[in-house]
């Protein structure tokens, strides 16, 4: 095989090997460079072209084949505006005790503070609860605020809410956060200090609860109000619910139990429960009779246990209206103390030679004291109740009004329905000289009121009768007699059902008797008629708790 002859350069021919040692080989002297083979150039060029084509293919794949997908991905994930949920305002009672506040969610289910509530019993309907901000399946908020549900959380939702903030978050194409920064800080919700005493409200709740179980009452409610300012000092409704359970929504079984309870634990019975009032309307009837000059407060009326009204259509079958017992001789003061039905039948509807108010005047005075209409309290679902009158009867029963209807209305029966908050406001007006307050929950504020222009002399007679109810032999609220404070009160028992097999028991009044500062109402709902435990005894236990734990309320 022959080799191709390679050309020999001129320098190679004349090179003298003797001189090689004098070359500085470190500086490349005396070295010969072989020429670069063309084959190597071609190989390197081919490799370079392969790299170029690979880059071009990747560029084509990113920009053309998957261009739309990559564009959308880069647009969505490059810079996000994230909502920062503002903290909700804290709710305190009148003594500074937290009732609703914010806590970190240790379950990591939520990225914002969760609502926590007091463990005190009986405040569920008062406080209400919240629904949390919510995200969709992609992680974006479709509800960016806490929403108050019921009670104070709902009524003061705007005050408690605050304002959300904004944060910009930069992410790479894989969704990892590159950087972030707050562009709009949150504004926390304002705190709210209520006029309500949580400890007193819980004590009322526990006494109502134990009494309900002992005596067979279905449910109960109670409230106390400052008659000079309209502030609600205590409010509770039995049975109640745990606001935290409702806010979290995780305990499905307990929530279902709440929903299926026929005692209606979600119902705030103080403002949204309408009940037959019975005899607690009698002080209003007494005032109306004095104001209309129907009867002298010192006139004696005798109760033999009933009055009989002749039947002009069937003389052999007269109508008999019974008292709950024969009280004998009494003036207006004793009639209030004994809660005589006969006395109030007579001054309400008239009998023999004694004129009565009649239904028109009766209903006018009831409405003047706020019965049959909403008080305007800020809590939701307040009921107006019913004051019976001829128009109401025609609408409901398509029938005419009769004397017996007036008699029963005068003792708080028939179709009469009131809420405890209405009676509390009415008794506050009786106590303070005629200021009919809109009940409220703002600590230290004097609420709005209507001036009823009541006659103080007539009011004094009514007050004396209510005081006798507590401290006079035969008075129906003797359980409220105390040595440390003088209480004026009225009891009430309202018959329920077609055969009057059940009763509501009421206690309402005010203290101190000499210079009234607080009014109260307590309702025990639907007990068997044979029950001997009344609302006045339960309210007496409440007053004992106040004496031991809140003496400033009776020694102010």
What sign for the dihedral angle of Cα 131, 377, 546, 443? Answer: positive
The pTM (predicted TM-score) of the whole model is 0.83
Q: Are residues 85 and 151 in the same domain?
A: yes
Contacts of residue 33, Cβ cutoff 8 Å, sequence gap at least 6 = none
Tokens of residue 321, six digits: 């209206």
Contacts of residue 335, Cβ cutoff 8 Å, sequence gap at least 6 = 282, 286, 301, 327, 343, 344, 465
pLDDT tens figures, 274-295: 999 999 999 999 999 999 999 9
Please tell me the predicted confidence (pLDDT) of residue 1. Answer: 46
Task: Tell me the pairing of strands 177-184 and 165-171.
Answer: antiparallel
CB 523 within 8 A of CB 307: no
Q: What is the CATH number of the domain that holds 334?
A: 3.40.710.10
Among candidate residues 152, 171, 193, the one where a domain is terminated: 193
Read off the pLDDT band of 502 (50, 70, 90): confident
Q: Are residues 117 and 240 in the same domain?
A: no
Please state the rounded mean pLDDT for residues 328-350: 97
The reply to whether 348 falls in a domain is yes
Please tell me the predicted confidence (pLDDT) of residue 180. Answer: 61
Buried b (16+ CB within 10 A) or exposed e, 23-40: eeeeeeeeeeeeeeeeee
Count the helices and strands in the chain (H runs, E runs). Answer: 19, 22
The reply to whether 3 falls in a domain is no
pLDDT at 5 over 60: no
- CA-CA distances (angstroms) from residue 268 to 187, 248, 372? 32, 21, 18
Nearest-angstrom CA–CA distance, 32 and 296: 145
Q: Are residues 391 and 354 in the same domain?
A: yes
Q: Are residues 174 and 252 in the same domain?
A: no
Among candidate residues 145, 168, 193, the one where a domain is terminated: 193
DSSP 8-class letter at 156? T
Residues in the chain: 556
The reply to whether 33 falls in a domain is no
Q: Are residues 139 and 213 in the same domain?
A: no
- Calculate what percentage of the chain has a pLDDT beyond 90: 70
The reply to whether 37 falls in a domain is no
CB 273 within 8 A of CB 223: no
The reply to whether 74 falls in a domain is no
Q: Are residues 295 and 341 in the same domain?
A: yes
Please tell me the predicted confidence (pLDDT) of residue 404. Answer: 94
Domain that holds residue 355: 198-553
Task: Tell me the pairing of strands 301-303 and 328-330.
Answer: antiparallel
The reply to whether 416 falls in a domain is yes
Please state the rounded mean pLDDT for residues 497-509: 86
Nearest-angstrom CA–CA distance, 539 and 523: 10
User: Domain tally for the chain?
Assistant: 2
Nearest-angstrom CA–CA distance, 151 and 235: 12
Q: Are residues 186 and 210 in the same domain?
A: no
Please tell me the predicted confidence (pLDDT) of residue 2. Answer: 44
Please tell me the predicted confidence (pLDDT) of residue 181. Answer: 61
DSSP 8-class letter at 64? I
pLDDT at 69 over 90: no
Helix, strand, coil percentages in the chain from 3-state DSSP, rounded to 5: 40, 20, 40
Tokens of residue 35, six digits: 């020429």
Q: Are residues 243 and 136 in the same domain?
A: no
pLDDT at 304 over 90: yes
Highest mean pLDDT among 71-75, 80-84, 165-169, 443-447: 443-447
pLDDT at 512 over 60: yes
pLDDT at 34 over 80: no
Tokens of residue 381, six digits: 């679902």
Where do we find the tokens 């969704």?
A: 175
Q: Are residues 252 and 355 in the same domain?
A: yes
pLDDT at 389 over 50: yes
Please state the rounded mean pLDDT for residues 144-155: 94
CB 467 within 8 A of CB 385: no
Please state the rounded mean pLDDT for residues 156-164: 94
- Calculate what percentage of the chain has a pLDDT beyond 70: 88
Q: What is the CATH number of the domain that holds 161?
A: 3.90.1310.10
- What is the residue-averaged pLDDT of the chain? 89
The reply to whether 38 falls in a domain is no
Read off the pLDDT band of 41 (50, 70, 90): confident
Read off the pLDDT band of 402 (50, 70, 90): very high
Q: Of 49-63, 300-314, 519-533, which gets the smallest average pLDDT?
A: 49-63
Coil/strand/helix, residue 555: coil
Read off the pLDDT band of 297 (50, 70, 90): very high
Read off the pLDDT band of 186 (50, 70, 90): confident
Q: Are residues 186 and 233 in the same domain?
A: no
Tokens of residue 251, six digits: 């305990």
Please state the rounded mean pLDDT for residues 152-180: 78
Buried b (16+ CB within 10 A) or exposed e, 266-290: bbbbbbbbbbbbbbbbbbbbbbbbb
Please state the rounded mean pLDDT for residues 71-84: 66
Q: Are residues 121 and 203 in the same domain?
A: no
Read off the pLDDT band of 259 (50, 70, 90): very high
Among candidate residues 193, 212, 247, the one where a domain is terminated: 193
Higher local confidence (pLDDT), 130 or 138: 130
Picking from 546, 514, 523, the residue whose alpha carbon sits closest to that of residue 423 is 523
Please state the rounded mean pLDDT for residues 464-475: 97
Please tell me the predicted confidence (pLDDT) of residue 313. Answer: 79
Q: Are residues 490 and 342 in the same domain?
A: yes
Please state the rounded mean pLDDT for residues 306-323: 88
Please state the rounded mean pLDDT for residues 412-419: 95
CB 286 within 8 A of CB 332: yes
Can you state the angle between helices 282-291 and 341-349, rounded to 10 degrees?
40
Nearest-angstrom CA–CA distance, 11 and 476: 141
Please state the rounded mean pLDDT for residues 87-112: 93
Picking from 313, 281, 294, the residue whose alpha carbon sits closest to that of residue 408 is 281
């Amino acid at each position: 095989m022959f080799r191709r002859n390679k050309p020999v350069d001129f320098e190679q021919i004349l090179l003298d090997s003797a001189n090689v040692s004098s070359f500085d080989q470190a500086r490349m002297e005396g070295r010969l460079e072989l020429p670069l083979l063309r084959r190597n150039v071609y190989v390197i060029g081919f490799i370079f072209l392969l790299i170029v084509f690979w880059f071009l293919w990747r560029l084509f794949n990113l920009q053309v084949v998957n261009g739309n997908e990559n564009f959308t991905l880069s647009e969505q994930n490059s810079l996000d505006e994230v909502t920062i949920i503002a903290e909700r305002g804290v709710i305190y009672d009148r003594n500074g005790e937290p009732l609703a506040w914010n806590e970190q969610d240790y379950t990591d289910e939520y990225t914002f503070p969760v609502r926590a509530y007091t463990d005190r019993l009986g405040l569920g309907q008062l406080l209400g609860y919240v629904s949390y901000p919510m995200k969709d399946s992609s992680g974006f908020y479709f509800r960016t605020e806490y929403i108050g549900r019921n009670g104070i959380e709902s009524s003061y939702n705007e005050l408690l809410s605050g304002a959300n903030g904004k944060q910009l978050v930069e992410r790479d194409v894989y969704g990892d956060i590159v950087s972030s920064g707050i562009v709009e800080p949150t504004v926390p919700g304002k705190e709210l200090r209520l006029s309500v005493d949580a400890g007193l409200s819980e004590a009322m709740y526990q006494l109502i609860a134990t009494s309900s179980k002992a005596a067979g009452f279905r449910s109960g409610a109670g409230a106390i109000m400052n008659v000079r300012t309209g502030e609600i000092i205590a409010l509770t409704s039995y049975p109640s619910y745990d606001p935290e359970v409702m806010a979290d929504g995780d305990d499905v079984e307990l929530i279902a139990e709440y929903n299926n309870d026929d005692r209606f634990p979600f119902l705030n019975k103080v403002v949204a429960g309408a009940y037959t009032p019975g005899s607690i309307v009698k002080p209003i009837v007494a005032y109306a009779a004095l104001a209309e000059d129907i009867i002298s407060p010192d006139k004696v009326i005798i109760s033999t246990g009933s009055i009989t009204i002749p039947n002009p259509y069937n003389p052999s079958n007269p109508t008999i209206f019974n008292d709950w017992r024969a009280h004998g001789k009494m003036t207006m003061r004793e009639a209030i103390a004994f809660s005589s039905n006969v006395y109030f039948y007579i001054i309400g509807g008239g009998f023999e030679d004694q004129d009565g108010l009649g239904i028109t005047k009766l209903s006018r005075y009831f409405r003047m004291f706020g019965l049959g209409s909403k008080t305007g309290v800020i809590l939701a679902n307040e009921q107006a109740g019913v004051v019976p009158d001829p128009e109401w009867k025609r609408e409901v029963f398509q029938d005419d009004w009769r004397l017996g209807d007036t008699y029963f209305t005068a003792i708080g029966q028939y179709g009469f329905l009131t809420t405890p908050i209405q009676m509390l406001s009415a008794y506050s007006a009786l106590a303070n000289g005629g200021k009919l307050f809109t009940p409220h929950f703002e600590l230290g504020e004097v609420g709005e009121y209507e001036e009823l222009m009541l006659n103080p002399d007539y009011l004094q007679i009514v007050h004396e009768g209510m005081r006798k109810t507590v401290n006079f032999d035969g008075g129906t609220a003797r359980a409220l007699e105390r040595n440390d404070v003088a209480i004026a009160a009225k009891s009430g028992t309202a018959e329920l059902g077609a055969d009057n097999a059940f009763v509501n028991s009421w206690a309402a009044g005010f203290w101190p008797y000499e210079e009234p500062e607080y009014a109260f109402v307590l309702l025990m709902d639907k007990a068997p008629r044979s029950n001997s435990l009344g609302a006045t005894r339960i309210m007496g236990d409440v007053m004992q708790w106040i004496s031991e734990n809140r003496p400033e309320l009776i020694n102010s």
